[in-house]
Each structure stands twice: as C-alpha cells, then as structure tokens.
C-alpha cells in the first residue's frame, strides 16, 4: 500500500513540475513554480492550482497518494520504527 502511495505522489509531483515549466511566462517564474512543486507537496501543488488553474489531474494524484499514505497505514509503519540502540 505504501508503494502505491509513493508512486502516485512521485508521478503527480513530476507531472506538476513539468506543467509548471510549460505554463510559466518567464524563466524565473518557471524555476520558482518548479521548485515549489518539487519541494512543497501537496501544499505547493494546491497553491499552484489556485494561482495558475493548471494541473488538476496531477494534483489529484498527489492528494490521493497522500491520503493512502496517511490513512492506509503508511504513518503507522513509520511510527513503529524504534531507534537502534548500541
């Protein structure tokens, strides 16, 4: 289940970065939106969609991936990891 969520988030994030690069007016705008979408998911994707009205499908992929990860037990797997003691 975690792998499906990771793949959905990765595909959606890459798709949003490509969409940001394609829809930007200037080089600076393209780079800014690409970095925001790459590093700040899912919030960056939501803001990008609200401002640009582009990238609804990849944003939905990212949100579904996050929902599966959080509610499908992904966080439980991370929380159950105990630190290694020497």
- Report whether the peptide linkage leading into residue 42 is cis, meaning its omega lies within 30 degrees of zero: yes
CA distances from 69 to 29, 41, 76 (A): 31, 13, 9
Residue 80: φ, ψ to 5°: -80, -5
- Report whether the peptide linkage leading into residue 82 is cis, meaning its omega lies within 30 degrees of zero: no
* pLDDT at res. 25: 86
- Residue 6, classified by CB atoms within 10 Å of its CB into exposed (0-12), middle (13-18) or buried (19+), is middle
Per-residue pLDDT tens over the stretch 11-68: 999 999 999 999 888 999 899 989 998 898 888 889 989 998 888 999 999 999 988 8
Domain ranges of the chain: 2-72
Q: Is 83's pLDDT higher than 90?
A: no
């Amino acid at each position: 289940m975690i792998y499906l969520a990771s793949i959905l988030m990765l595909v959606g994030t890459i798709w949003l970065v490509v969409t940001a690069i394609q829809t930007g007016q200037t080089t600076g705008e393209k780079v800014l939106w690409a970095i925001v979408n790459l590093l700040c998911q899912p919030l960056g994707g939501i803001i990008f969609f609200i401002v640009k009205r582009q990238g609804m499908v990849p944003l939905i992929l990212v949100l579904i991936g996050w929902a599966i990860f959080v509610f499908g037990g992904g966080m439980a797997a991370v929380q159950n990891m105990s630190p290694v003691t020497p």
